A and B are shown apart, each in its own frame.
Chain A
Amino acid sequence: MSDDATFDKFKSCAVEVLQVPGEKVVREARFADDLDADSLDLVELVMALEETFDITVDEAELDGIETIGQAFDLIAAKL
């Protein structure tokens, strides 16, 4: 899968779980400040991403993940 296609898939997860418009899901977007997402939203997003991409993300790996770009890179590295 190309990076673009992977990002699109990632983005549709984020749009659905975080209930934000697609245009706000950009690499620079910060979960808390730009997407109004709380910690439970992030847990929901991670669970949705695990399901969508058939991967496992450990709690420790989520430390310091604050932007869409960081989260995407974490997921992409597992594919």
Chain B
Amino acid sequence: QRSFSSPREYRGRSEAGRALGPEEEERALHGGKMSETYDFLFKFLVIGSAGTGKSCLLHQFIESKFKQDSNHTIGVEFGSRIVNVAGKSVKLQIWDTAGQERFRSVTRSYYRGAAGALLVYDIASRETYNSLTNWLTDARTLASPNIIIILCGNKKDLDADREVTFLEASRFAQENELMFLETSALTGENVEEAFLKCARTILNKIDSGK
């Protein structure tokens, strides 16, 4: 049994139910900065194999431009943005993780309490598509079985080098109860939509009391 009225912080099933003190509530609502107010706070993960464009998706979503010339991510990085979803202001706190297999031992500890996730592969790399199942298992076992996940086939702009068809990936998404979009962090196509879709679904779930 969960209640999200006050503070309205939805962090998935695993952390729900803990009452926050007034100070903590203050922080949850204002994110440490007094100017910032929002109705909900969702923790999001961006996961997937190395070089699929996770950091670029995050950067495009937050800065509305393509991140050129950036180092590969070591460990974890953060970003956040307040968005309007169905008349509610929702703060997305996004955790961007390193993609190499062996880093999972490090990044797994950050999954706890995540309400949503972008599961990213590169449409021009079958290898990154093939490892989706592992990422999915991790997300469902370590964050929450009810975590809302959107599958993102990134680098949509590289259609000429495509190794994974839209149809194949959408079937995979259906079988695994994932939402699905093909995105391009380079052009910005569907990037905003991916985050918003995920947030909307979580909000619906809260409203319907599931």
**Does chain A bind chain B?**
no
